[in-house]
Structure 1
C-alpha cells in the first residue's frame, strides 16, 4: 500500500498525454490538412491546365484544317482561272480561225479580176508611212470593225482582224474607234506641226527677237548669281516682263527650240558640257 499523502501519478502509461505532446500532435494534424489542401489545389490546377492544353491543341488542329482548306480553295480557284483563260483563248482562236477560213473561202470563189480589185482597194485604202489619215479611211475602218462585232467577234479580235485586212496598225484602229466612242467623230490627221519649215500656224508660242534676247540675258544673269532656273522661273519672267501667259509644258518646248537643255529639271545654258 502506498502511504497516505504521497503523490503518485494515476492512469499509468495509458493515461492523458502531456500538453506539449498534444500541441505537437495538433500542429502536425493542421500541417497534414494544409498539405492535403495544397495537393488538392495542385491536382485541380493540373487538371485545368491539361484541359486548357487539350482545348488549345484542338483549336490548333482546327486552324490547320482551315488553312489546308483555304489552300485547297486557292489552288482550285487558280486552276479554274487558268482553265477559264485557256478556254477563252481557245474560243478566240476558233473564232479567228472561223473568220479567216470564211474570208479565205470567200476569196477563193472570186475571179482573178475581183481578187486584183480587192488587192488594189486595200493598197489604196492603206495609209503609207507618214501619210495622213482621211475621213474616208476612218469610215471604212469603223464599218469593218462594227460589222465584225455585230457578227459575234470580240472587240479585240475585231480590232486585230481590221488591222490585218487593211494592213494597218492596231493602234490606228484603236485611235479611230476611241475617237468615235468618245466624241462620235471620225479620226483625221491634218499634218499640223510637221516639218521645221511649215507655213501653217501650229499653235506654238513664238517670241520676238527682243524677247528672246531678254530671256537669254535673264537666264544668264540668274546663273551668274548662283540661282537655279526652272521652267516655272521662265514662265514667271515671260508673264511679268512681256505679258505672255504660257504653261510649263509650252515653256519647256520654247526653251528646247531656243537650244536650252534641262538636267534634273534645271535649265542649262547651251552649249551643255557633257
Structure 2
C-alpha cells in the first residue's frame, strides 16, 4: 500500500498533515480549518479521521469546524482526554489502530506536555511527532521533566532510520543556528544548514525530515555522544543531564 502525505502550512508557523491511502484520508492536528479545507477541496478528498497529538490550542483549534463538516473519527490520548476535543477513540502508549488497512502505533512522548503522543505509520515510513521531536530540535519541556523528555526522544530515535519525521512547526532555521553552537564542526550539520537556507529561500517547508538526518545533526538526539559531552565540558555526566543542559541553553538562545 502506498500513502500520499501532504504538509499543510497553518497559522504563522504550524503544520498539519493529510494522509491519504486506499480511498481514506486522515489529518494529524488541526491548527486552523481554512487551509486544510482548501487542500481537501482541491484534491477532492473526504476527511475520515483526525489524530490529535496534544492539547495545545495551536494543534486543536480547528477540530470543531472540521467535525461539523465531516463524519470523522477523532483519535487522541486517553490520559489527556479531559483537555482535548471530544474523542471517538482514546488511545494509550503501545496501542494500535487501523487506518486504510495499515496499522498505526501510538507512542507516548510526554515531556512538552503530559499526554503528548506520536503516531507511527510504518507502512508509510512516517512518524508524526508534533512538538516532541522536531526538525533539528525538540519542544520546550512545559509539563514533564527533562528525564521524561529524553526518554521520549530516545524512544523516537530507536525507530528505523529511514522513517520520515513529520513535526509540528517551521522552527528549523532557528534550530539550526542553535545546533551550530553545540557542534560547530559537524560536517553533516553544516551541509544541512545550507540545504535549509536554500529551501527557505524557495519558500519550501523544511518538514518532514528523515530520522537518519536528525540522528546526524539534531543536538537533542546527540546528547549521549562523547563528542557532544566534551564540547559542553560534561564528559562525566549522564545522557539525560547533557540533554537537560542543551535544552536549558536553547530556552535562553
For the pair shown, the structure with the greater C-alpha radius of gyration is 1
Structure having the higher strand fraction is 2
TM-score range, shorter chain: under 0.3
Structure having the higher helix fraction is 1
Superposition TM-score, scaled by structure 1 size: 0.18
